[in-house]
Amino acid sequence: MDLDRAAGMNKITFFSAQPYDKTFFNKHNCEFGFDLEFFETQLNKHTVNLIQSSNIICVFVNDIVDEVVIKQLAEKGVRIIALRCAGFNNVNLEVAKRYGIHVCRVPAYSPEAVAEHAMAMILTLNRKTHKAYNRVREQNFSLNGLLGFDLNGKTIGIIGTGNIGKAFSKIGKGFGCKILAYDITINPEMEKEGVVFTDLDTVFKESDIISLHCPLNEKTKHIINKGSLAQMKNSVMIINTSRGGLIETASVIEALKEGKVGYLGIDVYEQEEKLFFRDLSEDIIKDDAIQRLMSFPNVLVTAHQAFFTNEALTQIALVTYNNIKELLIKKEIQNKLALLV
């Protein structure tokens, strides 16, 4: 496919664009010179028609890029789908390939940002700093109900030891934790640093804290389910900064009610596309499961903000622009997901 800067090939149409996306992508465009059009709305079959004279789209985690949408994109002449995120579970790569559309992503943008947020969730749930903050503002200096535990000496189980899992293991080790890990590929470098790779059942059985850092795919969907929860220690802490679909929500709610799960920190939620990245403070939330989760005192929900640092947003903008630029000058790039036939 000839990907030169023909008409439409210099314009990028953004979906799910928030004010901070505009700030960072505008700021870093000076060295690339693309025409940019931003839409706040999600990409789905109803919004494809917003694309005008543009063969490149830039999408995020909750945009819908399924078979129906890709067919419409192809009809509109879209040649590049640039994901400004690492996960790509929302894109049907096979169909994109069939239609000859390039898909690229940002495989690593400050993995530390997500890893540090995972640790922030652990510390908040454990030491209850969110409650202490509110308490002292009301002149309540009592410590009752704020009891935590030492992280030092505890076992953290990491599922998925890629960029983020690896960064998180270093943080955990810094706190004096034993790190157990499960991944489909063992990382010898991490083993040398003292991370113990084991099977999934052992991670479930022996961990005090389980942190999810694997992608969402057919094998990992609902990896946290009734069966895996039953294997875990009583009062286990589960942290999910990866993808909502890794957790079977109904089972985790039951486990929270029974005390099997003692703490739950989620930055992602299976039905998040209807909720996250918008202010719904004046709305009636119809999703009963998220309402139930938010009602537990030992559940912390953040709205997919683990990536949200200055460094990560800078990297996202620069890597996305470079991906597009390299596709336009026909170079093979590492970040390309669907190769053309």
Which amino acids are annotated catalytic?
243, 272, 304
**Per CB under 6 A, which region of 122-130, 138-146, 162-170, 322-330 contacts ligand NAD?**
162-170
Q: Whose Cβ is closer to ligand NAD: residue 79's or residue 304's? A: 304
String of b and e for 87-102 (b: at least 16 CB within 10 Å)?
Answer: bbebbbbebbbebebb
Are the C-beta atoms of residues 268 and 71 closer than 8 Å to each other? no
84 binds ligand NAD (CB under 6 A): no
CA dihedral 211, 214, 215, 217 (to 10 degrees): -100
- Chain centroid offset of residue 43 CA: 18
Site string for ligand NAD, 297-326 (x = CB under 6 A): -------x-xx-------------------
Which 196-215 residues touch ligand NAD, going by CB under 6 A?
213-215
**Residues 140 and 186 sit within 8 Å (Cβ to Cβ):** no
167 three-state secondary structure: helix
Cβ closest to ligand NAD, residue 298 vs residue 305:
305
Give SS3 for 272: helix
Least separation in angstroms between residue 181's CB and ligand NAD is 9
Query: Residues 168-187: x/- map of binding to ligand NAD (CB under 6 A)?
Result: --------------xxxx--
Q: Which stretch binds ligand NAD (CB under 6 A): 64-72, 155-163, 169-177, 252-260?
A: 155-163
* Residue 220 binding ligand NAD, by CB under 6 A: yes
Which region, left, alpha or beta, applies to residue 204 given φ > 0 means left and ψ of -120 to 50 means alpha? Answer: alpha
CA–CA distance from 156 to each of 36, 118, 179, 182, 236 (Å)?
Answer: 43, 12, 5, 11, 10
Residue list 247-276, contact with ligand NAD (CB under 6 A): 267-268
Locus of tokens 């390039």: 102
If the CB atoms of residues 8 and 160 are measured against ligand NAD, the closer one turns out to be: 160
| Site residues (vs ligand NAD, CB under 6 A) | 86-87, 108, 111, 114, 159-165, 182-185, 213-215, 219-220, 241-243, 267-268, 304, 306-307
